[in-house]
Structure 1
């Protein structure tokens, strides 16, 4: 089946608008909690880093691996996580991965050594690489394409955004009690979701028949791990340092080996033909633009507000909060907008919001930008960009995909977001690592992320053109 940009509901949704039974709401709640925990973990741990470093006597270099360890596990295993759910059964993989996530979080709150904490973070990232795409694929296979699926994906996105926004505030509050609470509080929440999920998520078997492609799995994971590791360590080592170049070459060789394996085995881990879908490729490019512009910009503003304006962590968290609040308020409506207008216009609106926010920062920032007239409007525009963009991009990526490849499509789009963010953040870190005393030192990073957002806008215009062309052909 061809993958296309979602058209308005009058052309794609054939299911009647019926009420969901309580059991279905329970399933959506479990999946939403899993994504909420992922979002909470990323933002809450970031707020707690200074306290972790002081308590565990970790250097700045070691402390960054509390974050990078999670990124490495998450980004390295996302594609495998999504595809494994297709191959072995989504319910089984989701519950096992959520259990591992819970135990890793508990261990992280109890360890007394920095190295062990980093190890638990890596394991937690690997577990999230299985829970996140599996949760999305359970949703996309539970709900038919159209109104109900759009609604379900919007709810899941709402909880993911709520977890990230809530983590900024809760992370500050919990850290004031002790940084370990950022790891311990999610444990009972995950346990509750695990029990309810075991009872409510319908049992399913493998969506794909055939053997497990071990060669493809090994080359894919090894190649992804190497490229993510090379990128996150390049700013400290040097972008053209011998070891960095060797890592690039090895990862490229492993990806080439992966393609060779997949083109020959009877039951490939990833059917290479799925990459011929223009809609899926554009969805992946747009998710890169979304993540690779916002996350580095958030990093830039955190540095500026803390180092230049001397704001405390909680005040900085409140400064970033408008993005999350707008997501929470707007995302419930986004599903209905996708049903009515299709995904392409919403993605254009998203990329336009990101681009306008960053261009406004470049124009209005000067040397000492104030929060209310400069930063706040950008945060508001980013909030709308996320609220419109993420649900629409995920919907576009999974619409029209065969049921046995829903996990793969979900894993691809999330893997693209992580790898794209890692590369963008690493480059931005190198660009803003100067010793300036005003916003001028951060401008090169803002120029880069603005370029990424504008590139995403151009890609979204292609999606609109393709959507209109497809609509005329249907007419």
Structure 2
């Protein structure tokens, strides 16, 4: 392992590069498959554990808040303690928590184990992206590796949705979490065999920054979700919102003064990188509603079984994978910025179309065809967003920059889901209606809100990335 990107032209290094890439992608697949399994299992989990809609959102948020809130600390720990060491530690914690979720006897146990699983992912995920950045030189090689990384999300989503539906339908939603145990153990063995340890660096862990950022985001999301049930003027909800804002202000102040911050504020001096992170927050905020609420629409309105619901997502996941695989070639032809804008525009059209669903919408024209556009958009956006967010990063900031990408990803999902749950709660019809009609109306309202978030992301990309990169295709062609 090297502190600078490893050249990819040496034939002797290709077997190791292939093994490293396989291990990294497999570990990322484990995270993505786990998230997808949860999506199709949500209605079964809600029925089995008697969760309210707002409580159900915490099955996602307990994980994503711990994941997103501790990612920067996990990234910094990898830089200081060694990325292979933290990679294996994250795998171990994620695997153990998966087993605990599978045997959970109560909602409290489930949510606590999901939070621990998120901690494991926070330790694991920054190492995966940082290892890609250090093994593949910036340019076509890294773009190709990042495309595989993004494509793994499409593969994992497809496999996870179908697998989650299958086990929830035929066995139990718990089985989906037990799958992580043998996979995690195998990856830990492979990491010890193939990944070389990075040198330890002198430094300190910014615990104040980690705690204030995690608690601040948790309080903020909790306040939003609680307001969805209790009202925005309710005392505890208001206190949580104010505490969240105060803690996040403390986090920023701490990062300004501490010698070794988990989030170097200099990363935001790069305008394109800042815009890419802001757009990622909005993009994931909008997309999380698609996955979270579409599964409830398919099972709660159209009456699909979990396996049928998993298969019903294929019009989104397969185009997602195909688009992600085409990203390197399309980037060379059109440039990263234009491809990013086109992907966002495609996703906006699909989400606006999906927002027209009702209790009587046919699956093909009301759900499947919009899914195709949403899948193409997601597959064409995540890779270019990642490239924009990590371009020009110094080697010593690779871990922090990778952590920032993942933070934007996870916290965008948490904040977005919290806001969409509030939209869901506030969107009941005034006239008496069947439960399925009421549910469809509320879900359609969340898709409207998702469309707004995606449109805001496109505006940021156009203003701060596309307009600054007009000559990009010619430059890419010369490269």
The 8 Å contact of residues 225 and 421 in structure 2, kept in 1 or not, is answered as: no
1:287 to 266, 280, 295: 280
TM superposition shift of 1:416 = 1.8
TM superposition shift of 1:50 = 4.4
Distance 1:404 1:225, change over 3 A: farther
1:389 to 368, 381, 384: 381
- Which residue does 1:406 correspond to in 2? 398
2:92 to 68, 93, 99: 99
2:18 to 17, 21, 25: 25
1:195 to 189, 200, 216: 189
Q: Distance in 1 between matches of 2:20 and 2:6?
A: 23
Q: Distance in 1 between matches of 2:343 and 2:474?
A: 24
- Which residue does 1:166 correspond to in 2? 159
- Which residue does 1:3 correspond to in 2? none
- Which residue does 1:449 correspond to in 2? 450
TM superposition shift of 1:303 = 3.2
- Which residue does 1:119 correspond to in 2? 112
TM superposition shift of 1:347 = 0.7
- Which residue does 2:308 correspond to in 1? 315
Distance 1:225 1:62, change over 3 A: closer
TM superposition shift of 1:384 = 0.8
- Which residue does 2:60 correspond to in 1? 67
1:379 to 350, 357, 371: 371
Indicate the larger mover: 91-100 or 240-249. Answer: 240-249
What SS is found at the alignment partner of 2:16?
helix
**Are 1:468 and 2:474 matched, yes or no?**
no
What SS is found at the alignment partner of 1:315?
helix
1:428 to 420, 424, 432: 420
Indicate the larger mover: 267-276 or 32-41. Answer: 267-276
**Are 1:328 and 2:321 matched, yes or no?**
yes
Indicate the larger mover: 436-445 or 95-104. Answer: 436-445
Larger RCO of the pair (alpha carbons < 8 Å, separation 6+): 1
Distance 1:237 1:84, change over 3 A: farther
The 8 Å contact of residues 32 and 159 in structure 1, kept in 2 or not, is answered as: yes
- Which residue does 1:458 correspond to in 2? 459
The 8 Å contact of residues 150 and 336 in structure 1, kept in 2 or not, is answered as: no
Structure 1: runs of 5+ lacking an equivalent: 1-12
TM superposition shift of 1:138 = 0.9
Aligned residues: 460
What SS is found at the alignment partner of 1:467?
coil
TM superposition shift of 1:39 = 1.1
- Which residue does 2:179 correspond to in 1? 185
- Which residue does 1:418 correspond to in 2? 410
Q: Distance in 1 between matches of 2:102 and 2:442?
A: 37
- Which residue does 1:5 correspond to in 2? none
TM superposition shift of 1:67 = 3.1
Q: Distance in 2 between matches of 1:300 and 1:107?
A: 26
TM superposition shift of 1:18 = 6.7
TM superposition shift of 1:164 = 1.8
TM superposition shift of 1:80 = 2.2
The 8 Å contact of residues 75 and 228 in structure 1, kept in 2 or not, is answered as: no
The 8 Å contact of residues 38 and 160 in structure 1, kept in 2 or not, is answered as: no
**Are 1:241 and 2:234 matched, yes or no?**
yes
The 8 Å contact of residues 154 and 391 in structure 1, kept in 2 or not, is answered as: yes
Distance 1:14 1:464, change over 3 A: farther
Distance 1:269 1:442, change over 3 A: closer
Per-residue CA deviations over 1:232-275 (Å, capped at 9, x if unaligned) read 43322333322222122222222222222222232233221211
